[in-house]
Chains A and B, each alone.
Chain A
Amino acid sequence: MAQDTLDLPLNFKFWLNKAVAWDQATTLESQQDVCLHLPQLQKFLQQIYETLKHMDFPMAIQRFPLIGQLLGRLCWNPFVIGYDENQKILMWCLCCLYCSEPQNPVELEANIWIRSLLCHLLSSSKLGLNEVGTISQALGYTSPDYYPKLLKNMVLSLVTELRVNHLNGFSIQKIIPDRQIKAMSLLCVPLLTLPDILPLLEALLTYHGDEPKEILCSEFLEGVNEAFLQKKIVLSESAVLSLWLRHLPSLEKATLHLFENLISRHRNFPQEMECFIKDSLLPHVACHPSIFRIVDEIFRNALLETNGTSEVLTIIQIFTRCFAQAFQKDNEQLKFPLKSYFPYASSSLIMVLLQNPKDLPPGLWCQHLNYISEILQKIVEDQSIQSCGNLFEHWFLFIHFGEWADIAAEELLMLRAESPAALLWLLAFYYNSCDRNQERTQTMVDAREAHGSIMKLFSRTPLSVKDLQAVAGESSEADTRHPYIQRLTRHLLLNFLLLSPEGHKIAQEFITTQTDEIANEFLNLIAHTTYRWSRLGIETLRPGKLARDLLQELQCYRTKSVLL
């Protein structure tokens, strides 16, 4: 950018001063300073290279008289060279400056200096010890053979020391004092994305000292988290668990990162979302209650801030499903009590909600739903514990397991419920956790009415779009019903369209008459429903193929209308 190139001389001075300062001090603070500035340094070096690549030596010296000093000092700083692509860019700069036909002593000197710098970067040199290179040279090996092995052995040695240190735990003599461990973590910061270092990273992450306070430096923890989220490194689950348990900002960042990724995608299919969520490792590490609680807190805030939009609800539901899977599969590990995950809710409710519908025969779902409804109603209507917050908590708990609400809607239309009232109550509660008795009574009336009119549609043949619109309340000018009742109605209506043969025929026609927002709502509902059917293995009992075809047709239609 033009502005950046204008700033280049100023920046140059800044970075040269930095390079000098870093050279002279080897304290923890100066090392931390280097690590802090590494990303910007890389950007700056990139700019320098972009400028240099069109120049030859005389021009370069004219433009940047002190370029030699800067490059030289940076090349001798292993923190700088070890980071990401710094070494590459510095090498490129040096190659640019080399003169093919030196015209004067200065250029000759420069050539020699460039060559020696490159050799310093790439060849075996004395590592501060005597005769290091002798054996490898005698064997006929050079630096490409030597350094990878050396690095591997160094990492191995450090990892072993860390493990032994760990085991020695409470003994008096520790091989590595805590201060040194902090220094170790800082030294790893520039090297995070180097694959050879991975064992050391994991050993550090799973290392715990005697003191309750954190011994690893925060730059390290943040850096590892960032690299992990950007998929630049692949960590084992135990390392990730350790990281997120010991460094709260990392966990929060990871959750927000997941959230942003899921919400920013335009077409979100439940299967893809589930994959994404599982990949993030969050559901699995959430089996640890502290992690679950923090993630749940973030969900709660998101829900409140967005006034309960369906995207957030969906994310919460898919996450909870993945979590429940992980929780129930983890047989070897100690299981924490359910209350530690949902402290504000009653355990009996949690247990019934946690029940996986897949483990129950479809015929018993109704019964189970009745049971859920019973418990919830009792809690909600119990005057003694009624408080705004408490009601919200129970609703919040319920929406985690929104799958049951979907099943309730379906069961209502399949006429298997002996007492549709209980299921209707559940569905109504799902859409509106009102806390005033009159409002709830009114809601139930509206819900019963909506249910009734939809059930009547079953017997109406031929079915027309107008009939559907009447039920959805669109024929009248002003639909005075609350939005949540409208949503409830649409939910039931969609189930009707999917489950009744008459409904199939006009489903597409009806949906395309809706507004974009409502059409999207329907689309999402269909996607979730078909996915649920395939997950629960009931596709043969439901019109799975028809639903999928409908979904596809609608998507095509939507894409076309968006493009036009």
Chain B
Amino acid sequence: MERLLEQLERFAEVLAASRTRHAGSWGRVSVRRSLRWARYLRHVHGRFRRRGPVRGALEEGLRRLRLRPRAEAHAGPCLASGPGPLRSFEGLGRGDELLALGLLENAAVRGPALHELLRHLRPERGEPEEDEEDEEDEAGLRDRLAELARRKAASQLLLQLLGPDPAQAEPVLRRTEAELLLQRLREEAEGEAEPGAEALLLDLLWVQLPRPRWLDVVTEALLLQPTPRPDGDEDEEDPGNQTDLGPSAAEALLTWILARPAALATLCRLLPAPVLSSLAARYPALAEAFLDLLAQWGGHLQFDLVQGTWVGTGPERLSWERLRDCFQCFCQSPTSLRSQTLRVLNSYRALDGSFGAPGLSVWTDLLRDLGEYEPTGEAEDAETGAEMPAILDLGCRP
């Protein structure tokens, strides 16, 4: 077991190094050895796929690896965010693919080393030194890379079908990215690393991605419906199995958003109102946060007597229209969101003094605009009022 963990460590280092300039010093022997390790670990993955003590120990080893400070020339925070490093048990199953691709894409890798790699990627290699078992594994690697190329070509072909306009392909791309995000979050969660790991990752994304992009992906990830799988069995080759992703991964994302005012503010400010409403409808915690924030901003609106409209004065410059749109969508939602929204609006209106005249309280005007305005005193009866006519009817019947 010790030896296994040691090899795991060394291979993880090798894999990480394969994408850096350190790989420039590798020669034929190093490449051959690293491929052999990759093959061996793939065997290990195959043998211990069923969750058990060995798998647990390996995952523990991987966790420790991630937490170790990276002394190498690995630019970026200690969160190993670059491609390549082994993060999960599933990664062991495709270590050889990752290694091959890493070396291929790495400009620092020199001629002889790459030649050695390419030698392994074709059937007859001219040097019958390896035994049969390796041959089978190598065939496996070749087949998997070929399948990758095939799938890539298939994506290119089908892309044309999604529509002549590149924008028509966006939903598919966003969904894919959202799935990858959730998968990554799940990996972190399963690894039971320090609780900050997911937060670090999300922080990184927040910093690295352009805002619109970030918005799209995060919204998509939160709204993603699990796709029904025809076969019910657990498919370990596809770690992004939708049925596993659901609550836990999105929870991490949710927690992070709720803890980051800037992110919350971005969502409230920039997301289209219907989308914001769907998010709120799906996640009650978000609904509460949104309502609080919107209410807070709404409080900063002031009535411009000259123009006769409400104008945003706070730092967010939130416009009346935006506020109204958001609340309108919230009220149109079929779930409890509607009543929650009305409750908030009415309570703020009460705080303002429940004036009926326009221009005095932004909440009154909002309620009027939404068609939800009930003059004070009747608001509470509004719910029970519906029952009244029936009783009256009964009384009137001869």
Contact = CB atoms under 8 A, between A and B. Distances in A.
Nearest to A197: B154
B175 A91 contact: no
Interface in A135-151: 135-151
Interface in B71-124: 80-85, 87, 94, 97-98, 101, 104-105, 111-112, 114-115, 118-119, 121-124
Most buried by B among A121, A131, A190: A121
A200 to B, nearest CB: 8
Nearest to B171: A157
Most buried by A among B87, B180, B205, B210: B180
B259 interface: no
Nearest to B97: A144
B184 interface: yes
Given A138-B81, A139-B184, A149-B180, A158 B162 contact: yes
B214 to A, nearest CB: 9
Contacts of A144: 94, 97-98, 101, 144, 148
B208 A87 contact: no
B162 A157 contact: yes
Given A88-B142, A148-B151, A101 B171 contact: no
Interface string B207-223: 01110010001000000
B193 to A, nearest CB: 14
Contact of A154 (B159, B205, B213): B159
Interface residues of B, number: 67
B152 A122 contact: yes
Nearest to A189: B157
A141 B180 contact: yes
Interface stretch (A12-20, A180-188, A439-447): A180-188
B149 interface: yes
A147 B157 contact: no
Contacts, number: 191
A149 B176 contact: yes
Nearest to A150: B176
B177 interface: yes
Nearest to A100: B115
Nearest to A93: B122
Contacts of A200: 158
A129 interface: yes
A151 B171 contact: no
Interface string B139-181: 0001111101111111111111110001001011101110111
Contacts of B384: none
A276 B150 CA distance: 33
B148 A122 contact: yes
- Chain A at the B interface: SS class: helix
Contacts of B115: 98-100
A131 B177 CA distance: 12
- Chain A's interface size range is 35 or more
A81 interface: yes
A91 B83 contact: no
A226 interface: no
B227 interface: yes
A127 to B, nearest CB: 6
B204 interface: yes
Nearest to A144: B97
11 contacts: A100-B111, A102-B111, A122-B148, A122-B152, A127-B173, A144-B97, A146-B176, A150-B176, A151-B155, A154-B155, A158-B161
Interface of A: 53, 78-79, 81-82, 85, 87-88, 91-92, 94-96, 98-102, 111, 115, 118-119, 121-123, 127-129, 131-132, 134-151, 153-158, 180, 183-184, 187, 190-191, 194, 196-197, 200
Interface of B: 80-85, 87, 94, 97-98, 101, 104-105, 111-112, 114-115, 118-119, 121-124, 142-146, 148-162, 166, 169, 171-173, 175-177, 179-181, 183-184, 201, 204-205, 208-210, 213, 217, 227, 238, 240
